Amino acid sequence: MSRIEINLLPVDYRRKRVRVDRILCRRVVWPTIALLVVIVLGVAYTMNLTMERDETLTDLETIEKTIASKQKLLDEIKKLEADKAVIQRKNDALRSIQVSRQRWIVIFENLSYVLPENTWITGIDEKNGRLEMTAVTFQFSDVAQYMTELQKQVAITNVRLKKVRTVKVAKAQGFEFSLSIGLAKDINLNAGGQAQGQGA
C-alpha cells in the first residue's frame, strides 16, 4: 500500500527537505580528499628530496675517495714541476754564463788585436757597464791610434781618454794612459773575425 503525502501549506512556508548526503559530501568528503591529496604530495616531495640528498652525499663520497686516491699522483706531479723549474733556472744560468763568456772573448779579442806594437795593457776593470783600462806605450801617437781603432770594433761603443802621464819604463820614457771604454750589450758572438777585419 503506497503512502501519499500532501503538503497543504502555502508555497512560501514550505520547508525544503535537505539531503544529509549532499551536506556530508560538500562539507566533509571533498575537504578530506583534498587534504589527503596534499599530504600524499607532501610525502612524495619529501621522499624525492631525501633521495636526491642521499645521491648527492654518495657522489661527494665517491669524489672524495677519488681525490684521496689521486693525491699521491698529484704530489708527484707538483714535485716534478718544482724539479723542472729548478732545472730550467740552472739551464738559463748556464746559458747566460756561456753567452757572457763568449762576449768577453770577443771584447778581449777587440782590445788585443788593434793594440799597437810596444804597447801593453797593465790593468782592466769593469765599472757600471764600462771598461776602465790602463796601458803603457812608448809613442804618444799610439794612444790616439789605439783609440781610433778601438772605436771601430763591434764590442766597443765609444772610447774616452781619461788621463795620460809620463813614466819611466826600462830607463826609457813612456806614456801611461787610461781609457774609459763603452761596451756593446748585444754582441754578435761570431764577430771576432769581423772585428779583426775592421781593425786591420
Summarize pLDDT for 182-194 with one digit per residue, the tens: 988 877 655 444 4
Q: What is the pLDDT of residue 188?
A: 62
Domain assignment of residue 177, yes or no: yes
Q: What is the pLDDT of residue 200?
A: 39
Sheet holding 119-127, edge to edge: 119-127, 130-137, 172-183, 156-169
Domain assignment of residue 138, given as a range:
11-200
Q: What is the pLDDT of residue 19?
A: 54
Domain assignment of residue 6, yes or no: no
What distance in Å separates the CA atoms of residue 121 and residue 114, rounded to the nearest whole number? 12
Q: What is the pLDDT of residue 180?
A: 94
Residues 9-39: pLDDT tens digits? 555 555 555 455 565 566 666 777 878 888 8
Q: Using 50, 70 and 90 to split pLDDT, how confident is the model at 196? A: very low
Residues 97-107: pLDDT tens digits? 555 778 888 88
Residues 51-91: pLDDT tens digits? 888 888 888 888 888 877 777 777 888 888 888 887 777 77
Decide the pairing of beta strands 130-137 and 119-127. Answer: antiparallel
Domain assignment of residue 1, yes or no: no
Q: Domain of 144: which CATH number?
A: 3.30.1360.100
Q: Using 50, 70 and 90 to split pLDDT, how confident is the model at 149? A: very high
Domain assignment of residue 79, yes or no: yes
Domain assignment of residue 3, yes or no: no
The C-alpha angle 136, 141, 143, rounded to 5 degrees, equals: 45
Domain assignment of residue 194, yes or no: yes
What distance in Å separates the CA atoms of residue 119 and residue 106, rounded to the nearest whole number? 20
The pLDDT of 166-173, averaged and rounded, is 86
Tally of structural domains, the chain: 1
The pLDDT of 4-8, averaged and rounded, is 61
Domain assignment of residue 96, yes or no: yes
The C-alpha angle 74, 79, 85, rounded to 5 degrees, equals: 125
Owner of C-alpha cell 774609459? 180
